[in-house]
Amino acid sequence: MSKKFVETQKNIRGKALYYDENGCGVVEQGKMKIPVPFLLKDEVADLFVVKQGKYFTSRIDKLIETSNDRVKPKCEYYTSCGGCQLMHMSYDAQLKFKTKYVKGLYKGYKVEDTIGMDDPYAYRNKMISTFKFDKKIKSGFYKLYSHDVVSIKKCLVQDDLADPIMETIRQLANQYKLKVFNEDKKSGFLRHVLIRTGHYSREVLVVLVVADRVFPGKGQFIKALVKRHPEIKTIIQNVNKRQTSVVLGEEEHILYGSGTIKDQLMGLTFNISSKSFYQINPVQTEKLYGLAIEMADLKEKDLVIDTYSGIGTISLIAAKKANKVFGVEINKAAIKNAIKNAKINKISNVQFVEGDAGKIMVQMAKERVPVTTVFMDPPRSGSDEKFLSSIVKLKPKKVIYISCNPATQKRDVDYLLKRGYELERIVPVDMFSHTNHVESVCKLKLKK
CATH superfamily assigned to domain 281-446? Vaccinia Virus protein VP39 (3.40.50.150)
CB-side exposure of 351: number of CA atoms within 13 Å? 8
Per-domain residue ranges of the chain: 3-70, 126-262, 281-446
Query: Which of 100, 73, 96 is closest to 84 using CA atoms?
Result: 73
Domain 3-70 and domain 126-262, same fold? Reply is: yes
Is the separation of the CB atoms in 32 and 50 below 8 Å?
A: no
404 included as an active-site residue: yes
Catalytic residue among 24, 75, 155, 404: 404
pLDDT tens digits, the chain, 448 residues: what are they?
Answer: 344 434 556 678 999 999 999 999 999 988 888 999 999 999 999 999 887 777 778 899 999 999 999 999 999 999 889 899 999 999 999 999 999 999 999 999 999 999 999 999 999 999 999 999 888 999 999 887 677 889 999 999 999 999 999 999 999 999 999 999 988 788 889 999 999 999 999 999 999 999 999 999 999 999 999 999 999 999 999 999 888 778 999 999 999 999 999 999 999 999 999 989 899 999 999 999 999 999 999 999 999 999 999 999 999 999 999 999 999 999 998 999 999 999 999 999 999 999 999 999 999 999 999 999 999 999 999 999 999 999 999 999 999 999 999 999 999 999 999 999 999 999 999 999 999 999 999 999 999 8
Is the separation of the CB atoms in 164 and 170 below 8 Å?
A: no
Class of domain 3-70: mainly beta
Query: Which of 43, 120, 20, 175 is closest to 34 using CA atoms?
Result: 20
Q: Angle at the Cα of 234 (from 228 to 235), degrees rounded to 5?
A: 80
Query: Which of 369, 382, 405 is closest to 307 using CA atoms?
Result: 382
What does pTM read for this prediction? 0.93
Distance CA 20, CA 447 (A): 35
CATH of span 126-262: 2.40.50.1070
Distance CA 338, CA 349 (A): 13
